[in-house]
Amino acid sequence: MTVVYVSPMRKMLISLAVGAVVATGVGFSGPVRAATSARKIPTYKNCTALNKAHKHGIGRRGARDKTASGTKRVTTFLVSDQGYRASSRLDRDRDGIACEKR
């Protein structure tokens, strides 16, 4: 008898793959891939275009506006990790918020 160690992560992946096959009623024909989102995340040419869609900018979760002392931070930006990743090149001060505007 051969004993094979299966890590907890591998057990979870195996159970997900088996569950997908059982749920669909289709035979297993290859590796199971995660479903991709059908919705495309928009990218913007510049901050003017981004600010037309999102008035105060777009930032990732937990981001804090970098400001000079005494000025109020922007807190009304749209929080979206995927949206920020698509527009991160527009974040000049690298504070996690692209095109922040008061």
Of 7, 36, 31, the C-alpha closest to 20 is: 31
Could you tell me if residue 93 is left (phi over 0), alpha (psi between -120 and 50 degrees) or otherwise beta?
alpha
Residue 68: CA count within 13 A, CB half-sphere: 0
pTM, whole model, 2 decimals? 0.60
pLDDT tens per residue across all 102 residues of the chain: 566 666 776 766 666 555 555 455 555 455 555 555 567 889 999 999 999 999 999 999 999 998 877 788 999 999 999 999 999 999 999 999 999 987
Q: Where are the domains of the chain?
A: 47-98
